[in-house]
Amino acid sequence: MSVEQAAEVAVQALRWRDERLEILDQTQLPAREHYQALESVEQVVEAIRSMQVRGAPAIGIAAAYGLVLAARNRLAGLSAAAESLRAARPTAVHLQWAVQRMLAVEVGAGQSLQDALLAEARRLHAEDAQANRRMGETGAALLNNPCRVLTHCNTGALATGGWGTALGVIRSAWSAGRLEQVWVGETRPWLQGARLTAWELQREKIPFQLIVDSAAAALMQRRLVDWVIVGADRIAANGDTANKIGTYSLAVAAQYHGVRLMVVAPTATIDSDLADGAAIKIEERGAEELTRCGDQVIAAPGTPAFNPVFDVTPAKMIDVLVTEKGYVRGPDRFKIRSHLRSP
């Protein structure tokens, strides 16, 4: 099955064309749909770092194609290229996993290194799109009907190989007639909810309303939310989950108000080497992301700011974890280990 067949969505976050990687520049959405052509691994690193391409699965796929470009440009070995890709976004384990998988590629008879790497990158891309569909169907089947869902950040086709993780569940629920309403948190400071998730939902005519992040608890208090559904950038062995900053706040509010929390992520996001969430490295970015909104200055010059990009939600606050293998209710170390061993 090709990427396009598995995704079945009109938008692709990235594509390989004419011996180069093309990414839909997400920093320009929703105002402009522009594919940026990347022809070197250095350009891929910068696109990941600058969030032109973002979302744990999507940056892993981008890194895979980045190593293809490194091989094409005849770099002396791939290790330096791999290290620069790994360092571009340190929290998302899917990036590390994809790079390691690419480095393990074996060159077959009659193949060049570039051909072997390209075949593996395409395989990884298609597998992610297919896994998205399975997660979407699994998660949608767990929702009550009709369901009102609150989601955070962007976890759709823009963040993955196609269809989406948390937003993939929402897409599948809408297709199955199980969805009534989506609440979209704006997701400061990069506004991935307002700029990207709303854009994807609007294109597919899925009913939604945009909210400021701080309105979520008030919606729950008014009993207007049945599920909070989010993605993940890294999941520790015990189920503690790192996701976009603000996810932990949603989990706290959801637990207090009796709203269920679903985390949707491929098994490649689970880092079995990390015992718990305390060991997850949290990326911090510059103060200007808080003191400005686009080109608009919103804080006095020189204002100090603390800007962690992710937070960690304890496993005990997660009702269900959905992966391409199925789902785990009340995830913990033992349940996750058993889940990973399942076919």
Which residues have a catalytic role annotated?
A: 233
- Give the helix ranges, DSSP H, for 89-176: 93-103, 113-141, 166-175
Strand partners, 16: 21
Alpha-carbon gap, residue 7 to 157, rounded angstroms: 8
- Residue-wise DSSP of 185-249: E--TTTTHIIIIIHHHHHHTT--EEEE-GGGHHHHHHTT--SEEEE--SEEETTS-EEEETTHHH
- Angle, helices 93-103/113-141, rounded to nearest 10 degrees: 140
Terminal-to-terminal C-alpha distance of the chain: 20
Write out the H or E segment, with its range, that includes residue 3.
helix 3-7
Alpha-carbon gap, residue 217 to 319, rounded angstroms: 18
Query: Environment class of residue 283 by beta-carbon count within 10 Å: exposed (0-12), middle (13-18) or buried (19+)?
Result: middle
Query: Environment class of residue 65 by beta-carbon count within 10 Å: exposed (0-12), middle (13-18) or buried (19+)?
Result: buried
Alpha-carbon gap, residue 148 to 90, rounded angstroms: 33
Alpha-carbon gap, residue 333 to 262, rounded angstroms: 17
Alpha-carbon gap, residue 311 to 241, rounded angstroms: 8
Alpha-carbon gap, residue 221 to 257, rounded angstroms: 7
| Backbone φ/ψ region at 244: left (φ over 0), alpha (ψ -120 to 50), beta | beta
